[in-house]
Chains A and B, each alone.
Chain A
Amino acid sequence: MTTLTEERVCINRDRTERMAETGDGKKEDADYKRLQSFPLIRHTDMPEEMRVETMELCVTACEKFASNNESAAKMIKESMDKKFGSSWHVVIGEGFGFEVTHEVRNLLYMFFGGSLAVCVWKCS
């Protein structure tokens, strides 16, 4: 059902190169980072309440396990299973493409922290 292709793009290298270009570039990046760390929903078809709850849960998880995507994903998945029913799937990463089949009104795709993308969907 899901085909995941994870691309391990060397983002860090690009970023450091950009930063090396200009000192201002560094500042800009830092500014943008700060400005862009709010959670931003890219695509969802969830109902309002569910969406808000899920978004908060994702933010909490990502902040708690900032260094470990797997644990964050695990936490999100288990909480979603408990709250909304079984068989949720969670992907957290910085660079990946995906095509998923999800139950209608049970998909959330959001960005967080300027570089993190979280995709949560239900399909049993």
Chain B
Amino acid sequence: MSVSYKVGTVKSKQSPNVNTQPKAPVVKGVKTTGKKKDEEEGIDTADGEEWMQGKTLVKPPDQLDLTEEELKEEITRVLTANNPNAPQNVVRYSFKEGCYKTIVFVDQMAIHFELEGNLVHKESDEGRRLMAKHTEREDCGGDERLENVPIKPGKREQKVTNQFNFIDRASQTLNNLPREISCQTEPPPRANFSATANQWEIYDFYVEELQRREKSKEKQESQFPNKEEDRSKKKMIQAEAQSDDISQLAKPAEIIERMVNQNIFDEVAQDFMYFEDAADEFRGEKGTLLPLWKFQYDKAKGLSVTALCWNHIYSDLFAVGLGSYEFTQQERGMLLFYTLKNPSFPEFIFNTDSGVMCVDIHEQLSYLVAVGLYDGCVSVYDLRKKSDQPMYNSIASSGKHTGAVWQVKWQKDDLDSNHNFFSVSTDGRVVSWTLVKHEIVFTDIIKLPPVDKVPDDLKNVVATAGTSLDFHKQKDHHFLVGTEAGKIHKGSKYYSSKFLEMYDAHFMTVSCVRWNPFHPNVFISCGWDWMVKIWDHTINSPVFTFELKSSVTDVAWSPHSSTVFAAVTADGKVHVFDLSINKYEALCQQKVVSKKTRLLHIEFNPVHPIIIVGDDRGRVISLKLSPNLRKKPKEKKGQELPKGPEVEIAKMEQLLSSLR
């Protein structure tokens, strides 16, 4: 063993006895003795003597025997850093000088012990790797696989499914059943066409065409209005193009409106057509009136119905004149046309400046409507035109009435085939109006005779107001006029100065007078004195008299039977009579409006068994006659049921003869 010495010289003051080179078989005791000696010298003598007593000096056999002089020799020991084992005479060949040279500086390091450690710096690569491995091993727990060293931490979550944790399960939702829908559209319409194509046909056609073109060229050259034609044509085209947009909708919209109305009033329509009151069999003679549609117009609320007229050609269309009977409440008037197919809204609406008092629709030309107004004007409207203005209007200069016109009636076309109509008014004149081209021309027919009560000198001034006018159905020239004084005058168109007859009919105003549609001699009148009277025009006194409990505002004959008539009174009741069944009583007395509403007019429909009544609130109500009210006479067994107007006449005649 070699011991490394520190560099430096240590001078030892020790006695030469102490050997520098330790020998193996050094007896302990010798050393101890040696040391003891040192210790003796160092330590105070007091203790040293005690130690010294027990021991004796022993010489080892191989100790050097040195003389005293040699023993006292001071030997210096020098501690150097030189490696004693390092060679001191290393020689190297130097190629530069070409000889061997001794190397002075020799490596003096002597390695005594080497041990490789296993500590790794934690910042180095290997250190980091080991750290990662370490933490992984801690996480994995029991699974230590040295082969999985390069595993990254992100893939830890990959779970492999196994049979025991996961099961496949499937289910089928409900499949909707397939449905077949098929549809067949209408094929486009087809038409046949045939012709022949020959040379001569072609030739002829070309020749014609050329001729036509020449003619048109001539026309163009000669006529100036060519430009106007173009312009009007252009306008036409423009108007058509415009009207294409909206007016094409008008017709379908109208149809839809009617359909909707029909749906809404479906029950009413069914009743109108089919309902026959079965209870009539048990009622004996009496009948009832079934209310059907109500016709109302918002803007007409303040006005009273002053006139009703059915259209003879379109049996579902009727005219309603609206105005006011009050002298103080004169504002405006309206003329409305309703159809049974559309009870919600009128078909035609005409506004007039003053109240409409009477309306009449021409029998053949159902678009011509004559209207008499409260201010004395008469107008004629043409329903074909879209405008709101009447076709003809009588103005002050053309001899209009100075009082309200109470009745207008169309007449047959005169000899010049001009349309004409008659009117009667408060000023006592019966005037005939003729439509000549664009004008209306009046002709005074007759003036009503003055009332007896009027003093003589005023007879020319104070007029007798005529309130009602009716012409005989067969003998056109006969007509009846009812007056405010309660008289009925029978006149003729051929006599312009005097009336043929006068009947003392009522105590108060005659509100309506009408000829019987079948029997030529019979007419009916009603007045505000609560009476309805039936007359034979040959007799001065009435044939039948009925008292209804309130002032009678209108009466009408049924177009189906000569003995049936209906009257309306101011207390809101409709009275229906059939003289062939009951000569004294009404078959039906029914209140159709609420209290305080007066019924003002009544009209029978020429075709259907319904009547319309107008009240003073601007409403028109349609009612259906129950079977009892429109009975035909019972036929005897075996006999054919006779029909026709003759039967009706005969019926009436029977009645009359029974009274005479």
**B193 contacts A121, C-beta separation under 8 Å:** yes
B162 contacts partner chain A, Cβ-Cβ < 8 Å: no
Write the A88-104 contact mask toward B (1 if CB under 8 angstroms, else 0): 00000111111111111
Residues B172-216 near A (CB distance < 8 A)? 188-199, 202-203, 205-207, 209-210
Stretch at the interface among A60-68, A71-79, A110-118: A110-118
Q: Which residues of A contact B202 (CB under 8 A)?
A: 36, 111, 114-117
A50 contacts partner chain B, Cβ-Cβ < 8 Å: no
B192, closest chain A residue (CB): A101
Q: How far is the CA of A47 from the CA of B421 in the complex (A)?
A: 49
A52 contacts partner chain B, Cβ-Cβ < 8 Å: no
A30 contacts partner chain B, Cβ-Cβ < 8 Å: no
Q: Which of A97, A115, A123 contacts B199 (CB 8 A)?
A: A115
Q: Which of B191, B192, B198 contacts A95 (CB 8 A)?
A: B198
What's the nearest-Cβ distance from chain A to residue B191, in Å? 5
Write the B418-436 contact mask toward A (1 if CB under 8 angstroms, else 0): 0000000000000000000
A116, closest chain B residue (CB): B202
Q: How far is the CA of A123 from the CA of B567 in the complex (A)?
A: 66
Instruction: Tell me whether chain B's interface is mostly helix, strand or loop, or mixed.
Output: mixed
Write the A28-42 contact mask toward B (1 if CB under 8 angstroms, else 0): 000010011000101
**B190 contacts A102, C-beta separation under 8 Å:** yes
**A94 contacts B197, C-beta separation under 8 Å:** yes
**B210 contacts A99, C-beta separation under 8 Å:** no
Write the A9-51 contact mask toward B (1 if CB under 8 angstroms, else 0): 1010010000000000000000010011000101101000000
Instruction: Tell me whether chain A's interface is mostly helix, strand or loop, or mixed.
Output: strand
Residues B101-119 near A (CB distance < 8 A)? none
What's the nearest-Cβ distance from chain B to residue A94, in Å? 6
**A104 contacts B206, C-beta separation under 8 Å:** no
Q: How far is the CA of A40 from the CA of B196 in the complex (A)?
A: 15
Report the count of interface residues on A (CB-CB < 8 A): 33
A119 contacts partner chain B, Cβ-Cβ < 8 Å: yes
Range class of the B interface residue count:
10 to 19
Q: How far is the CA of A109 from the CA of B196 in the complex (A)?
A: 10
Q: Which residues of B contact A109 (CB under 8 A)?
A: 193, 195
Q: How far is the CA of A99 from the CA of B209 in the complex (A)?
A: 24
Q: How far is the CA of A45 from the CA of B191 in the complex (A)?
A: 10
Q: Which of B188, B195, B203 contacts A42 (CB 8 A)?
A: B195
**A35 contacts B210, C-beta separation under 8 Å:** yes
Q: How far is the CA of A42 from the CA of B127 in the complex (A)?
A: 108
**B188 contacts A103, C-beta separation under 8 Å:** yes
Asked whether A102 and B197 contact (CB < 8 A) given A35-B210, A40-B209, A111-B202, the answer is no
**B199 contacts A99, C-beta separation under 8 Å:** no
**B193 contacts A104, C-beta separation under 8 Å:** no
Q: Which residues of B contact A96 (CB under 8 A)?
A: 196-197
What's the nearest-Cβ distance from chain B to residue A8, in Å? 12
B199, closest chain A residue (CB): A11
Q: Which of B188, B194, B199, B206 contacts A100 (CB 8 A)?
A: B194
Q: How far is the CA of A116 from the CA of B205 in the complex (A)?
A: 12
Q: How far is the CA of A90 from the CA of B233 in the complex (A)?
A: 35
**B199 contacts A101, C-beta separation under 8 Å:** no
**A36 contacts B203, C-beta separation under 8 Å:** yes
For the complex of A and B, 9 pairs with smallest distance between CB atoms: A117-B197, A99-B194, A36-B206, A97-B196, A104-B189, A103-B188, A111-B202, A11-B199, A101-B192
A–B complex contacts, Cβ < 8 Å, 5 sampled:
A7-B198, A94-B197, A95-B199, A98-B197, A114-B206
- Beyond the given pairs A43-B193, A95-B199, 19 more chain A to chain B contacts, judged by CB atoms under 8 angstroms and listed by A's residue number, are A35-B210, A36-B206, A36-B207, A42-B195, A93-B197, A94-B199, A97-B197, A100-B193, A101-B190, A101-B192, A102-B193, A103-B191, A104-B188, A104-B190, A109-B195, A111-B202, A114-B202, A119-B195, A121-B193
Residues of B within 8 A of A (CB): 188-199, 202-203, 205-207, 209-210
Residues of A within 8 A of B (CB): 7, 9, 11, 14, 32, 35-36, 40, 42-43, 45, 93-104, 107, 109, 111, 114-117, 119, 121, 123
